[in-house]
Structure 1
């Protein structure tokens, strides 16, 4: 089955799929208005209808404004809501990974490596995501655990240097084409140069 790209991002990234009854809608939130406008543009391209951009106060005592918009119900969103993470992972391509990384990826300046946070995935689903990225790039990320003080732990992926050397230039080009300058820090910025030695 072919799933909507934005609905997949709504379930895997910073979005949220809402299905109180038969059909589902989705919402997207970000502290970055550029990202919200970009996602609205992608929703337009996929033919989704949605309301105006709203704001809300940051949770956890933060001071940043959170921007958000909600789509109307759509059966394509319902398909993704009803699909398993395994079903979605099987359909991922490079752009899906780029969108996910915009939401939940991080660049580590000291080691020049990348992490992709995937808190919602269990260990088996994490293994499936690793295999999918290995299929796309020929190099597998590694599973890691983000262990909280209260005893909870969440899965995330560590991108080793060889994978970064493949993923980063493509992700960089993707953001540059989109003119998402506020997200350039996610690949280390334009000043970062990959060492060839």
Structure 2
């Protein structure tokens, strides 16, 4: 399989645009990114339209286009769980999140653990909620990186480089991880919002 120059140019061009947006996002609606409220929530100043784009980009990811379809092809109908799961979780969120958002904004909560700690008056329960969130998020993050790795691997294999498939896969994974980690660390949620808006657009 060969990758022609147009395909390569489009990929590289879009990749550069997304990486630049990810890093430049730290200047979008400026705030003190050393504050967890600014880094993790964008200072709560994005508004409905940007949050809509962010949620859309959250759905249309490597999980949606690579992980679920490949799982469905490999294991069968077990992976059909993703369709009712998304519909159900968004229904529950529409019922509960507006109130949680209002309470969190008024009380200054940044994470679910902040909410639990004050409402339940239990530090240990708050720590358990935080750890559960971290553990539950790791497979999803891994899926995103693996999805990006798959795209980069196919592209690099198509270039017919003088390297083995394993070496190409390792290079692709390193590129994927470094880029995602770097602009997430420097821009926080702002990076996800701007790149998400471009993806949805």
Fold similarity call, TM over 0.5: no
Q: Which structure carries more helix by proportion?
A: 2
Q: Which structure carries more strand by proportion?
A: 1
Bigger relative CO (Cα 8 Å, ≥ 6 apart): 2
Using structure 1 for the length normalisation, give the TM-score. Answer: 0.25
Using structure 2 for the length normalisation, give the TM-score. Answer: 0.25
Higher alpha-carbon Rg: 2
